[in-house]
Amino acid sequence: MGAEFGNPSSSHSGGAAARGYLRAARSDVARLLGCAPESLSFTSGATEANNTVIAGGTLVRGDRLRIVSSAVEHSSILRALEWAGSQGAEVVLLPVNRHGVIDLSALRDVVAGAPSLVSIQWVNSETGVMQPISEIGRLCADRAVPFHTDAAQAVGKLPLRLGEEPIDYASVSAHKFHGPQGVGVLYMRPGRRVRPLLHGGAQEAGRRAGTENVPGVAGMGVAAALRADGLSEAICALAALRDRFEAAVRASIRDVTVNGGGSPRVCNTSNLLLHGVDGQALVARLDQAGIQCSQTSACVSHRPEPSYVLTSMGLDETAAYSSVRFSFSTANTAHEVDHAVNVLAATVAQLRAQGRRLAPNRIMAEVP
Ligand SMILES: Cc1ncc(COP(=O)(O)O)c(C=O)c1O
């Protein structure tokens, strides 16, 4: 972009140049999402988009708010719902089954009560488990209930046609498809409204005040175009890496379960329950060996608490503490996967042997 500091809202040529970057990015992101460019507003990421819909999308309906969501949503939905609850909204969190999927008949029952909003994630960040989003959207559309999905983990990993789905709002983060961190979009079906979260200028068709993050948006556009051009190749490559990883893990490590393995999952995530292993110690040791994985969502992983996603699926605390999430990128290779499994198998064997010698409270104390 060079030294271009034009404000996209300015009428001079510098502003026009900045607007050009926004226009190109809006069209490239729309191509990846399968929707009209005008239905997208740039945000600082999925957190802001989620908060905008929970705090602003629902307020336009007036009356006492009733918001339906699920127990396994990202913290940016759950904390926003807590806030909405503190403002008088009634919040209903649907449980998930042991495979991580919500019960459609339970959803049908609550949707019959005409809630103000239903917000259900497309893909879970910890397990990769997909919710039946089209069916959920149809259930909501049949009752004219606005439906929002947190699509942060779906974009770039599934072929999406948002414009053809019964979805009113969707949240997206650029860094999930190799764009820059700190930028994303809120998709809004034509005709839907939100009350802006930020008060100020009329940027983004009045849906999001404040000068757009032009360099971030431009980077997101390039990443979206690259992913849209190579989407099926990316999905095949990621699925091949993930399947190779899980097959090798099963062949070389005993007592291992893939959390959510009985459900439809996106192509890049593998959440392993390694019985008898302290997950935090495993994450630390693998990191030292150059293999980066996580115990829970990156946004809460500084907290040594068991994953609420996994306990919501019925795992007890010990099993949740013994679970670790691996995510694969298009930049990974089969060789790296094989190396990761070798190191993982050796580390798991060491930790299990050590666990047999130590009392459980000493095992949990081995935290970096
Ligand atoms: C499902 C989901 N929703 C929302 C977010 C928040 O995205 P951001 O931190 O980019 O706002 C994330 C990020 O990890 C996520 O995985």
Do 43 and 190 sit in the same domain of this protein? yes
Point out the domain boundary residue: 229, 251, 276: 229
Mean pLDDT of all residues in 258-272: 97
Point out the domain boundary residue: 229, 263, 295: 229
Do 241 and 185 sit in the same domain of this protein? no
160-191 pLDDT tens trace: 999 999 999 999 999 999 999 999 999 999 99
Give, using CA atoms, the residue closest to atom 7 of ligand 1. Answer: 46
pLDDT of 84 strictly over 80: yes
Q: Given the CA of residue 44, which atom of ligand 1 is nearest to it? A: 11
What gap in Å lies between CA 346 and CA 362, rounded to an integer? 21
What gap in Å lies between CA 104 and CA 111, rounded to an integer? 10
The number of folded domains in the chain is 2
Do 176 and 248 sit in the same domain of this protein? no
102-144 pLDDT tens trace: 999 999 999 999 999 999 999 999 999 999 999 999 999 999 9
Say how far residue 240 (Cα) sits from the centre of its chain: 21
Residue 69 in contact with residue 79, Cβ under 8 Å? no
Q: Given the CA of residue 298, which atom of ligand 1 is nearest to it? A: 14
Q: Of 252, 282, 276, whose CA–CA distance to 347 is shortest?
A: 282
216 CB near ligand 1 (under 6 Å):
no
Do 206 and 139 sit in the same domain of this protein? yes
Rounded to the nearest whole angstrom, what is the distance from the C-alpha of residue 301 to the centroid of ligand 1? 13
Kindly provide the residue ranges of all beta strands, DSSP E only, lying in the chain, ordered along the sequence. 40-43, 66-70, 90-94, 117-119, 147-150, 169-173, 184-188, 256-258, 269-274, 323-327
In a domain, residue 4? The reply is no
31-82 pLDDT tens trace: 999 999 999 999 999 999 999 999 875 555 556 789 999 999 999 999 999 9
Catalytic site residue from 35, 140, 236, 299: 299
In a domain, residue 5? The reply is no
128 CB near ligand 1 (under 6 Å):
no
Q: By residue range, what is the domain housing residue 195?
A: 13-229
Contacts of 217 (CB under 8 A, 6+ apart): 21, 22, 25, 42, 183
In a domain, residue 199? The reply is yes
CATH number at residue 271: 3.90.1150.10
What gap in Å lies between CA 153 and CA 46, rounded to an integer? 10
Do 151 and 172 sit in the same domain of this protein? yes
Give, using CA atoms, the residue closest to atom 16 of ligand 1. Answer: 125
Point out the domain boundary residue: 229, 248, 264: 229
At 23, list the tokens. 């226009």
pLDDT of 334 strictly over 90: yes
Q: Given the CA of residue 124, which atom of ligand 1 is nearest to it? A: 1
Contacts of 324 (CB under 8 A, 6+ apart): 271, 272, 274, 279, 282, 283, 293, 294, 295
296 CB near ligand 1 (under 6 Å):
no
289-328 pLDDT tens trace: 999 999 875 555 565 789 999 999 999 999 999 999 999 9
In a domain, residue 64? The reply is yes
In a domain, residue 2? The reply is no
Do 244 and 217 sit in the same domain of this protein? no
Residue to mutate, 124, 125, 220, ligand 1, most ligand atoms under 8 Å from C-beta? 125
- How would DSSP label each residue in 225-247? HHHHHTHHHHHHHHHHHHHHHHH
Distances (CA, A) of 294 to 27, 45, 75, 269, 301: 34, 21, 16, 11, 7
Rounded to the nearest whole angstrom, what is the distance from the C-alpha of residue 42 to the centroid of ligand 1? 15
Do 171 and 288 sit in the same domain of this protein? no
Task: Say whether 35 is catalytic.
Answer: no
User: Which one has a higher pLDDT value, 18 or 57?
Assistant: 18
CATH number at residue 111: 3.40.640.10
247 CB near ligand 1 (under 6 Å):
no
At 171, list the tokens. 């949240």
Average pLDDT, the chain: 92
Give, using CA atoms, the residue closest to atom 4 of ligand 1. Answer: 46
In a domain, residue 8? The reply is no
Contacts of 314 (CB under 8 A, 6+ apart): 97, 98
315-331 burial code (b ≥16 CB/10 A, e <16): beeebbbbbbbbbbebe
76 CB near ligand 1 (under 6 Å):
yes
